[in-house]
Structure 1
């Protein structure tokens, strides 16, 4: 049964990391599901209050990293709230419209369309803002992947210490 239990826990972690690329997947929920399933399969004993406090702080950091990176990416290139919203919508829709490249093209096109439609920006300015949204997304994915690696690493540290 150990192999089955560990396969399920590790699968939850893998899905959590896939969620970095496909934001429609709530990655942090799958990471937490791995922790909880481990507790049900084996024991919750290693998960004391400090473990949960640290993991919750990491979750808050994940949400902040996602939000801040997107805003900084769009704002640095002159974008507005409309550009941030367009980028976010494009990020969610893009992977479904263009499966292979939608994760990059979606936020780019979303930010451009929002800036063109809402603020009547010229195409060049809107394109720079779209580029900023892609930079923000890539920065967010890198930051969140580091945080998730630390979360999972801390989990293994706690259960094997």
Structure 2
């Protein structure tokens, strides 16, 4: 049973890291679930402080991952409609069945939002580019957090290796 839980936890950790690049997967929450499953292994002491702090970090970064593309739109001169368009585009991009939808849809959403706001195409393009940069920034941030969770997982695994094996 210990090995099954360890393997499942490791799979969740790897899915979390992959999720930082593949926006279809929620990277940080998957990594946190991997940490939780690790602590469910019999013999590994439950560390509520560790799990609570990492859960708070996971929730915070998951929310930021949804907000940052819209903030990038605003930073590059986008309006409220552009920010809403970028957010809607991001949500559509997550579920769209075509390649690179997660990169294209927020850009298109911000552009359409700016056009609906009666901005010229230059301003709309600039705001859409800001959305794209925000998406890249949030993906990089998510990778850093999931990688940190993976390092914590490996450290905890190393600490409890005698109990598990």
Superposition TM-score, scaled by structure 1 size: 0.82
Distance 1:111 1:61, change over 3 A: same
Greater displacement, 92-101 / 75-84: 92-101
The size of the alignment, in residue pairs, is 159
Q: Within the alignment, does 1:86 sit opposite 2:91 as a pair?
A: no
Structure 1, gaps ≥5 residues long: none
Q: Within the alignment, does 1:105 sit opposite 2:104 as a pair?
A: yes
Give the Å deviation of 1:10.
1.8
Distance 1:72 1:29, change over 3 A: closer
Query: 119, 122, 146: which is aligned to 1:121?
Result: 119
Residue of structure 2 in register with 1:31 after alignment: 31
What whole-Å deviation, never above 9, does each CA across 1:5-42 have from its counterpart, x for those lacking one?
Answer: 43322221222233334434333332222122223334
Aligned positions of 1:42-81 closer than 5 A: 42-45=42-45, 47-63=46-62, 65-67=64-66, 69-81=68-80
RMSD of the alignment, in Å? 2.4
- Contact 1:23/1:91, CA 8 A, preserved across alignment: no
Distance 1:148 1:2, change over 3 A: same
- Contact 1:22/1:95, CA 8 A, preserved across alignment: no
- Contact 2:93/2:104, CA 8 A, preserved across alignment: yes
Give the Å deviation of 1:126.
0.5
Greater displacement, 70-79 / 126-135: 70-79
2: CA distance between counterparts of 1:68 and 1:95? 14
Superposition TM-score, scaled by structure 2 size: 0.80
Give the Å deviation of 1:160.
2.4
